Chain A
Amino acid sequence: MTIAASTGRGRPATSEVVRRLPEILTIWVPLLLSAAHLIAFSLWTIWISFTPSTLVPVAGWVGLRNYSAVAASRNWQIALDNLLLFGSAFVLLSLATGLILAILLDQRIRGENLLRSIFLYPLAVSFVVTGTVWSWLLNPGLGIQKLVHDLGWTAFRFDWLIDRDMAIWTIVIAAIWQSSGFAMALFLAGLRSVDADLIKAAQIDGAGAIRMYRRVILPTLWPITITVIVIQLQFAISTFDLVRALTNGGPGIATQLPALVVYDLMFQRSLLGRGAAAAVLMLLILLAVLLPYAAWRYIQRRRAIHA
């Protein structure tokens, strides 16, 4: 933006360019490179998805055949159902967990810094580690179920990992464990930035704690809520490493997710064209989330300018 502004004033002096050199090198060069990278490879993938490529990329045109093959496959249908369930459950539950944690932490308690670090810590762990650790914890023969059995409650059952109807929930559990700290951090920042005068005014009007949260504080949080939803949703759509480490799509193919299908088609089955088609479909799902968000942001900004 600054460059555009400066050209408006005529050619910048050489000294101006030199002064700006660090900025140009550190911001614009990487930004342009990564944008070109992203766009070029997206376009390339889109092109591949219309070719009959299998082992290696080949030229040719098969129209939408790759797309119809992917859409008709059982793997993809299961993956979409799972994405719908996983995406909504994960986003709602991590939102709720994060908000509750944030509100509890906001009570000026002792050891807040320590607790905050603990809740945020899972975010620093790689998804592969999270998936592997939870695959042990949730394995009925090794983890939680065995522990409770050993403690004496032998009728206890917690075998979701090997139950193909419930297995998708194990991914929800692990994903929430990993990322509700992130939602908490954003909500906490939001809670802290609520206007102190507003809270005082509510207190003077005699609002209790619950009423204060419901009527005064939470309504100010909704822009943050939308940001959290969008970030979590795009994470949910592109989930790969977590599910690969935790269930690897199993039992059977019960916990397939779109990213797993893409990987499977491209690298296990050597069907580059179909894999690319599945990747493009994933991109479309992602756009379905991101475009409304971008539009909403745009409208917000317009409104702010007019106001």
Chain B
Amino acid sequence: MPITTTRRRLLAGSAAALALPAFARAQGAVKPRLTAISQWSAGSDGAAITALGKKFEEKGGVWQHSPVPGFTTEMMNKLRAQIIAGDPPACSQLKGPEIAAWSKIAPTVDLDAVVAAAGYEKVVAPDLAKLHKPAGKWIALPLQIYSTNMLFLSKRAMDKAKADKVPVTWAEFNDLAEKMKAGGVAYPVANGGTRPDDGQKFEAALAGISPAVYRTAIMTLDEKALKAPEITAAFVQVRKIADWMDPNVGAQHFSTNLKRFVDGDMGMMIMGGWAQGVLRNAGFKFEDFMIAPGPSDNGKPVFLLNADAFIFWQRKEPDLQAGQTLMAQLVMDPAIQTMYSQITGSIPVRTDVDLSGEGWSDGQRRTAAALKEAIASNQAVLSLAHNMAQENGMTAAMIDVITEYVKNKTIKPEQAATRLAEAVESAR
């Protein structure tokens, strides 16, 4: 494979160039260029990727980012069209098992050399690393991490409940919800009504009850695990949560109700870390709410991983290849990850970044600490609701069952567990 050899050589050369920037500049025959597509067009996501582009340009590159606003699926439609046309972007946003699925329809870049040169593998959560090297070689790089099961507590609702202790287990969570209800909080659980929102309730419940069953049932789809009593227990917990939610939200986005949450009309929110950025953007203060890892019955934090990533598509043009190498180096750079996460409210992929300095919030520090602990106790698992655990088709089949269960209170938890196992079977 002559092409691979050339790229190898190029990557090796670039790795050397990183060590000797002056030398590289003198040698630089081509100006690195990067064509990229992502859905990040506005808000903190847009700001973050624009800042990344600036850094790319500072290093002498040409940054050509075409955002596709809207849902991830719309970005995928553009990517699909470009791949079918034989003109994929040099790099595109893609995450989770979709990386493996999409890498089968078009050739990707082997990033092993540049990843090895950066010593990156040691500082990435193992489950996460696996997703980015589906056939054993790195073809994609994670950019930032969110936990989907952070617990947000409204200060005013806590005051109403006369409580100040953050619940650690589901039993404590349920106690606090009851206290809030008794104290006059109309809806102890704040929520939206979207599919991922419902999915997050379930994954938080199951992973909090048993991360081991979550791993075997949801991540590896083990038939026996899907029939485990923990699944039913998770559905029982989801029903409790559903009973504390405002049924009127319909299909609204969770952010619609943030004011009621801060006002203490709603008490707790199980949401991804991104909600912190949304709350801050909406003008609420850190004093208005608390952030903690989601409930975990064994007391140690469970971390439901959601990570954005870039996948690199094979291109023949030397300037694009140089651009890919530069981009890969930037994405792995702790300084760049710091910059990116500080804008979006996520946490860095690298577990060796120090978050004690300025620019980080308490919530981010707590999230990063939770990730470290969760990795140590093997309780960092991949989010189902945010397409990290399974491919889109399987995810959608499972979320169908969950979202129907959340909204239809005549379905029994046992029934839901059976339906979940059936949905997995028919989607396989």
Contact = CB atoms under 8 A, between A and B. Distances in A.
A and B interact? yes
Interface of A: 54-57, 69, 72-75, 135, 139-142, 159, 161-162, 164, 247-248, 250-254, 264, 267-271
B251 A248 contact: yes
B222 to A, nearest CB: 22
27 contacts: A54-B393, A55-B80, A55-B101, A55-B104, A56-B80, A73-B426, A74-B423, A75-B400, A135-B251, A141-B246, A141-B248, A142-B248, A159-B247, A159-B248, A162-B247, A162-B248, A164-B408, A248-B251, A250-B251, A250-B403, A252-B403, A252-B408, A254-B408, A267-B77, A268-B73, A269-B392, A269-B396
B50 to A, nearest CB: 27
B352 interface: no
Q: Chain A's interface: helix, strand, loop or mixed, by majority?
A: loop
Given A55-B102, A74-B400, A251 B407 contact: yes
A247 B393 contact: no
Most chain B CB neighbours (cut-off 10 Å) among A74, A75, A139, A159: A74
Given A139-B248, A250-B193, A250-B251, A268 B407 contact: no
A253 B249 CA distance: 15
B225 interface: no
A270 B408 contact: no
Given A55-B102, A247-B250, A270-B392, A253 B426 contact: no
B105 interface: yes
Contact of A139 (B101, B250, B407, B408): B250
B118 interface: no
A254 B407 contact: yes
Given A162-B407, A252-B407, A254-B408, 14 more contacts: A54-B101, A55-B104, A56-B80, A139-B248, A141-B249, A161-B250, A162-B250, A247-B250, A250-B403, A251-B250, A251-B251, A251-B408, A252-B406, A268-B392
Contacts of B250: 135, 139, 161-162, 247, 250-251
B427 to A, nearest CB: 9
Contacts of A162: 247-248, 250, 407
A251 B407 CA distance: 6
Contact of A247 (B248, B251, B400, B405): B251
Nearest to A58: B105
Contacts, number: 78
A161 B84 CA distance: 41
Interface string B126-156: 0000000000000000000000000000000
B76 interface: yes
Interface in B286-304: none
Contacts of A73: 426
Contacts of B405: 252
Interface string B246-263: 111111000000000000
Contacts of B423: 74
Interface residues of B, number: 31
Nearest to B102: A55
B404 interface: yes
A205 B9 CA distance: 101
Interface in B353-409: 391-393, 396-397, 400, 403-408
Contacts of B247: 159, 162
B17 interface: no
Contacts of A135: 250-251
A141 B408 CA distance: 19
A246 to B, nearest CB: 9
A150 to B, nearest CB: 15
Instruction: Give the top 7 A-B pairs by smallest Cβ distance, nearest first.
Output: A141-B248, A252-B404, A251-B407, A252-B407, A269-B393, A248-B251, A269-B396
B83 interface: yes
Contact of B84 (A56, A69, A139): A56
Nearest to B391: A270
A159 B104 CA distance: 47
B385 to A, nearest CB: 13
A229 B95 CA distance: 47
A287 B400 CA distance: 30
A270 B400 contact: no
A142 to B, nearest CB: 8
B407 A164 contact: yes
B190 to A, nearest CB: 13
Contacts of B105: 55-56
Contacts of A141: 246, 248-249
A267 B73 contact: yes
Contacts of B404: 252-254
A250 B408 CA distance: 11
Interface string B164-201: 00000000000000000000000000000100000000
A162 B247 CA distance: 7
A82 B400 CA distance: 17
A254 B396 CA distance: 15
Contacts of B77: 267
B425 to A, nearest CB: 11
Nearest to A78: B404
Contacts of B408: 164, 251-252, 254
Contacts of B391: 270
A159 B247 CA distance: 10
Contacts of A271: 393
Contacts of A74: 400, 423
Interface string B100-113: 01101100000000
Given A161-B250, A164-B408, A253 B403 contact: yes
Nearest to B403: A252
Nearest to B395: A269
A250 B426 contact: no
A115 B139 CA distance: 64
Nearest to B260: A141
A253 B77 CA distance: 24
B83 A56 contact: yes
A179 B247 CA distance: 30
B324 to A, nearest CB: 22
Contacts of A269: 392-393, 396-397
A69 B83 CA distance: 27
Contact of B396 (A69, A142, A252, A264): A264
Interface in B32-83: 73, 76-77, 80, 83
Contacts of B83: 56
Contact of B248 (A54, A69, A75, A140): A140
A248 B251 CA distance: 7
